[in-house]
Homo-oligomer: A and B are copies of this chain.
């Protein structure tokens, strides 16, 4: 069965950069799934946390790009320079690399969002700012999101 993270949880980062993964999200993983994740700088100011299995397909995509093109190299670097392997420890926590703590402006409290194949980690303030800056109701957004591709005039 396919992974589908969902829900919102608030946890705290300790001064060593460790934070517990919400147990609800952990339980979403297949039993046999490894404790391995990849955490990377995400879009809109959050971090993306991928189970290693999901990351594999991202990596395959990257490897498929034409290495001899300058743009490919640039984008691969941008993409990978903020990606790190992390493992869940015996307490159910991961350690977020210092680089990423800075990138995502994490203080003490962080927000976990389950978003299908990935978990997002936000500074709560950044998230509420993100949502409030985007005026428009859920209903309007839904219209844009669900319009079939071929109807999108460009």
Interface, chain A (partner B; CB < 8 A): 1-2, 4-8, 24, 27-28, 38, 40-41, 43-44, 56, 58-59, 61-65, 70-85, 97, 99, 113-117, 120, 131, 134, 136-142, 144-146, 149
Instruction: Decide if B115 touches A24 in the complex (CB within 8 Å).
Output: no
Instruction: Decide if B115 touches A56 in the complex (CB within 8 Å).
Output: no
CB distance from A98 to the nearest CB of B (A): 11
CB distance from A37 to the nearest CB of B (A): 12
Question: What is the chain B residue whose CB lies nearest that of A1?
Answer: B56
Find A75's partner among B8, B41, B136 (CB 8 Å cutoff): B136
Question: What is the chain B residue whose CB lies nearest that of A148?
Answer: B61
Question: What is the chain B residue whose CB lies nearest that of A61?
Answer: B145
Protomer copies: 2
Q: With A2-B59, A44-B70, A85-B28 given, is the CB distance from A78 to B136 under 8 Å?
A: yes
Question: What is the chain B residue whose CB lies nearest that of A135?
Answer: B74
CB distance from A113 to the nearest CB of B (A): 6
Instruction: Decide if B7 touches A41 in the complex (CB within 8 Å).
Output: no
Instruction: Decide if A75 touches B116 in the complex (CB within 8 Å).
Output: no
> How many angstroms from the CA of A117 to the CA of B142 in the assembled complex?
15
Instruction: Decide if A116 touches B76 in the complex (CB within 8 Å).
Output: yes
Instruction: Decide if A73 touches B59 in the complex (CB within 8 Å).
Output: no
